[in-house]
Amino acid sequence: MCNQVQLERYHLHKVDKSFSEISVYYPKTRIILLSVVSVFLGGLIYVFFRPSEPIFFNWFNSLGVGNYLDFIREKSTVISPFMPEWIVFSLPNGLWAFAYTLLIICVWQGSKSFVKYFWFVSIPVLIFGVEFLQLSGNLPGTFCWNDILSGGAGIIAGVITQKLVIKSVGNKLL
């Protein structure tokens, strides 16, 4: 019985140690996880609280999940009146900008390839470009200065977060 308890404690310690090692020795894992969570949260806000946009929601209908989505969206109408407009309409853009910035820097940091500069420049070009294409009427959607601010904040937060993660592990991402 005593050996059983010791063995269980050893395995629990080993599992706990392995999770902390992933966090410390694999900072890219943190970055990727944070990016996925940001995209997911932005998507939840977009899907559950934004007005139905036919093109976007037709895609869900073609996947056969439209009815489930309609049911959940109907239930979220209880919360909707209390959601500030900037959370519903601009925060998803900021979260996606944050995630994209984290991923691009994570993938290309430390690379000696000239191609990395293309990817680094793609961050503000995509984030701000979409809004200005909407302003010019070349892309469907509504131009919004709050989206520009949210996207800029997401980019800045992504760069700062990347630096903090690197600093917290005391080494450079490879």
What pLDDT is recorded for position 24? 47
What pLDDT is recorded for position 51? 80
Instruction: Enter the pTM of the model.
Output: 0.77
The answer to whether residues 103 and 32 touch, using CB atoms and an 8 Å cutoff, is yes
What pLDDT is recorded for position 174? 42
Tokens of residue 2, six digits: 């005593």
What pLDDT is recorded for position 56? 67
What pLDDT is recorded for position 5? 46
Sequence ranges of the domains in the chain: 27-169
What residue spans of 50-113 are helical by DSSP H?
54-62, 66-76, 85-89, 91-108
What pLDDT is recorded for position 52? 73
What pLDDT is recorded for position 173? 44
The answer to whether residues 30 and 165 touch, using CB atoms and an 8 Å cutoff, is yes
Spell out, as residue ranges, where the chain has pLDDT lower than 50: 1-2, 5-7, 9-12, 15-16, 18-20, 22-24, 172-174
What pLDDT is recorded for position 3? 52
What pLDDT is recorded for position 19? 47
